[in-house]
A and B are shown apart, each in its own frame.
Chain A
Amino acid sequence: EAGVVQSPRYKIIEKKQPVAFWCNPISGHNTLYWYRQNLGQGPELLIRYENEEAVDDSQLPKDRFSAERLKGVDSTLKIQPAELGDSAVYLCASSYGQGETQYFGPGTRLLVL
Chain B
Amino acid sequence: DAKTTQPTSMDCAEGRAANLPCNHSTISGNEYVYWYRQIHSQGPQYIIHGLKNNETNEMASLIITEDRKSSTLILPHATLRDTAVYYCIVRVAQGNKLVFGAGTILRVKS
Mask: chain B, 71-110; 1 = CB below 8 Å from A; 0 = not: 0000000000000000100001111111011110000000
Interface residues on B, range: 20 to 34
Chain A stretch 81-106: residues in CB contact (< 8 A) with chain B: 91, 93, 98-99, 101-106
Interface residues on chain A, size class: 20 to 34
Q: Which residues of A contact B34 (CB under 8 A)?
A: 101
Pick out which of these stretches binds chain B: A13-21, A40-48, A60-68. A40-48
Known A-B contacts: A42-B101, A101-B49, A107-B43. Give 16 more (CB < 8 A): A33-B96, A41-B102, A42-B87, A42-B100, A42-B102, A43-B98, A44-B100, A45-B97, A93-B43, A99-B93, A101-B46, A102-B98, A104-B43, A104-B45, A104-B46, A109-B41
Residues of A near any B CB (own CB < 8 A): 4, 31, 33, 41-45, 48, 56, 91, 93, 98-99, 101-107, 109
A99 lies within 8 A of B43 (CB) = no
Contacts A/B (CB < 8 Å), 12 sampled? A42-B102, A43-B98, A43-B100, A56-B96, A56-B97, A91-B44, A99-B96, A101-B49, A102-B46, A104-B36, A104-B44, A104-B46
Chain B positions within 8 Å of A, measured between CB atoms, are 34, 36, 41-46, 49, 87, 92-98, 100-103
Q: Which residues of B contact A45 (CB under 8 A)?
A: 97-98
CB distance from A102 to the nearest CB of B (A): 6
Give bound CA distance, A42 to B36, whole Å.
11
Chain A residues in 8 Å Cβ range of B49: 101
Bound Cα distance A14, B98 (Å): 31
Q: How far is the CB of B43 from chain A (nearest CB, A)?
A: 4
Q: How far is the CA of A91 from the CA of B92 in the complex (A)?
A: 22
Given the interface contacts A91-B44, A106-B42, does A31 sit within 8 Å of B103 by beta carbon? no
